[in-house]
């Protein structure tokens, strides 16, 4: 096992996250305001005043070293080695990759979906809804890590987007390279009222909302749900690609209900979307009534139902 002295570790820790992303991974950086940045992979991670905070996990720091080890999951020694190696890479020779469209290829499926089903069921997602998504090709378990893959399909019904989520105790998530954000995960049921659209930050939030519907003995097949795949909105981009494309291709939409996270990032994104949509649609802001997101609300409601049955 490699070993680094305290002096070398301190040197590796000198680079702050904003400098690291600007110089060596500019395609990951998203500017939210003049002095605030986020990242494409982690919408709830904010960078400002020389510090960064990943609100989804309540983890923060200053250095790129902390980011690589705590957020990206790079082993600490490997992260130190990597950052020390960057000292030998001239920044001016780095070529930022902007809109580098990679070929979209889904990871191969496992023999079954047992781990994905167990993981999502443990998070409160209704079993019928899970099996329905699997049957429609919207969800499966992938090799080699047994990640849950949430599929978005294009207008021809072919997979064009994929979001992955680990099914173990490590919070590893992101998008499959080459994914087309405009075709993000969505559920459009046969019986759905297409005049109403429900919008969420993630696929799990959308599935949680439908599970709440069923828990309350309402028909979950009448709702149309769209996942945004994060909520970083820039002035240039305006509406996120998934929402813009859906609205552009579904002219019958009249009401847009935003079920974004009950945190600063979610509320700011919801306020901006409301401003952009209010002249053309009835916009409803519906934050989770319990916890930070829709899955927190689902689990709290299920806990209350369980408590009532035990009395």
pLDDT score of 111: 97
Query: What is the per-residue pLDDT across 186-221, written as a single tens digit (0 to 9) for each?
Result: 999 878 889 999 999 999 999 999 999 999 999 999
Query: What is the per-residue pLDDT across 49-97, written as a single tens digit (0 to 9) for each?
Result: 888 988 877 788 899 899 988 888 888 888 888 888 765 444 434 443 3
**Distance from C-alpha of 240 to C-alpha of 4, rounded to nearest angstrom:** 43
DSSP H helical ranges for 98-156:
114-122, 127-135
pLDDT score of 201: 95
Domains located in the chain, CATH noted: 6-84 (3.90.580.10), 113-310 (3.40.1360.10)
Q: And the tokens for 300?
A: 């709290």
Are the C-beta atoms of residues 126 and 215 closer than 8 Å to each other?
yes
DSSP 8-state code for residue 45: E
- Residue 138 clears pLDDT 60, i.e. is over it: yes
Tell me the average pLDDT across 139-165. 95
pLDDT score of 97: 39
DSSP H helical ranges for the chain:
6-12, 17-24, 64-70, 76-86, 114-122, 127-135, 203-215, 241-249, 264-277, 294-310
DSSP 4-42: --HHHHHHHTTSBHHHHHHHH-GGGEEEEETTEEEESS-
Q: How far is CA 187 from the centre of its chain?
A: 16
pTM of the model: 0.68
pLDDT score of 311: 62
Tell me the average pLDDT across 38-48. 84
């Amino acid at each position: 096992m490699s070993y680094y002295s305290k002096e070398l570790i301190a040197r590796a820790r000198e680079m702050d996250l904003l400098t690291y992303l600007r110089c060596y991974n500019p395609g990951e950086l998203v500017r939210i305001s003049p002095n605030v940045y986020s990242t494409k992979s982690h919408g709830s991670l904010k960078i400002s005043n020389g510090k960064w905070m990943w609100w989804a996990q309540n983890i923060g720091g200053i250095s790129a070293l902390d980011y690589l080890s705590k957020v990206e999951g790079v082993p600490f020694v490997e992260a130190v080695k990597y950052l020390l190696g960057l000292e030998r890479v001239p920044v001016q020779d780095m070529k930022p990759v902007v809109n580098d469209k990679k070929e979209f290829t889904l990871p191969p499926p496992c023999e079954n979906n047992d781990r994905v089903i167990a993981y999502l069921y443990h998070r409160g997602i209704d079993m019928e809804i899970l099996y329905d998504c699997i049957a429609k090709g919207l969800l499966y378990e992938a090799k080699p890590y047994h990640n849950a893959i949430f599929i978005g399909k294009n207008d021809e019904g072919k997979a064009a987007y994929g979001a992955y989520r680990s099914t173990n105790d490590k919070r590893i998530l992101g998008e499959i390279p080459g994914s087309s954000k405009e075709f993000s995960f969505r559920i459009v049921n046969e019986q759905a009222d297409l005049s109403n659209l429900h919008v969420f930050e993630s696929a799990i939030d959308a599935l949680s909302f439908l599970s709440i519907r069923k828990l309350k003995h309402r028909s979950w097949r009448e709702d149309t749900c769209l996942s945004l795949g994060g909520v970083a909105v820039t002035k240039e981009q305006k509406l996120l690609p998934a929402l813009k494309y859906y609205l552009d291709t579904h002219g019958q939409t009249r009401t847009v209900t935003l079920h974004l996270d009950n945190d600063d990032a979610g509320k700011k994104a919801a306020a901006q979307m409301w401003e952009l949509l209010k002249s053309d649609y009835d916009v409803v802001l519906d934050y989770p009534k319990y916890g930070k997101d829709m899955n927190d609300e689902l689990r709290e409601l299920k806990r209350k139902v369980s408590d009532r049955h035990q009395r």
